[in-house]
C-alpha cells in the first residue's frame, strides 16, 4: 500500500523490520532525541526525554500503549504524550509517523 505525504516534512528514521514489538528505538532528528515504538500494530514517535527528569524514555518499558520512565516510573501515553501518573505532570511531545513499505518516517511537527 502506498501512502501520500509531504516528504519534505518527514525524515526516514529506520526500517519497520528493525523495530521489535514493545522495544523502543532511540533516534535523533535535527538534534532532537526521539523514541520510536512499535506496539499494538502501530508505530509511534515520542520525545525521548522524560518531562520529570532528564532521562531517556527509550530505556524504559512499553506496555498498554505507554512508555515508562525507568528512573521514577512515570508512564506516558504513546498517542498523546500525557503522563498517566506521578511524579511527571507535564506531557512530552509526540510526532507524526508515516510508513511506506518497510520505511518509517517521522516529522518533528508535533501532534500534541
For 38-88, the pLDDT digits (tens) are 999 999 999 999 999 889 999 999 999 999 999 999 999 999 999 998 899
Q: What pTM did the predictor assign?
A: 0.90
CA 56 to chain CA mean position, Å: 11
Distance of alpha carbon 32 from alpha carbon 66, whole angstroms: 20
Query: Mean pLDDT score of the chain, rounded to an integer?
Result: 92
What percentage of the chain carries pLDDT values higher than 90?
A: 83
Helix H or strand E segment including 99 = strand 97-100
Amino acid at each position: 500500500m502506498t501512502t501520500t505525504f509531504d516528504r519534505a516534512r518527514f525524515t526516514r528514521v529506520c526500517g519497520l523490520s528493525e523495530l521489535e514489538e514493545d522495544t523502543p528505538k532511540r533516534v535523533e532528528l535535527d538534534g532532537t532525541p526521539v523514541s520510536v515504538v512499535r506496539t499494538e500494530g502501530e508505530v509511534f514517535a515520542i520525545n525521548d526525554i522524560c518531562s520529570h527528569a532528564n532521562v531517556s524514555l527509550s530505556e524504559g518499558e512499553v506496555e498498554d500503549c505507554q512508555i515508562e520512565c525507568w528512573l521514577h516510573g512515570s508512564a506516558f501515553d504513546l498517542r498523546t504524550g500525557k503522563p498517566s501518573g506521578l511524579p511527571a505532570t507535564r506531557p512530552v511531545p509526540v510526532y507524526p509517523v508515516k510508513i511506506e513499505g518497510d520505511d518509517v518516517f517521522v516529522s518533528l511537527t508535533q501532534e500534541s
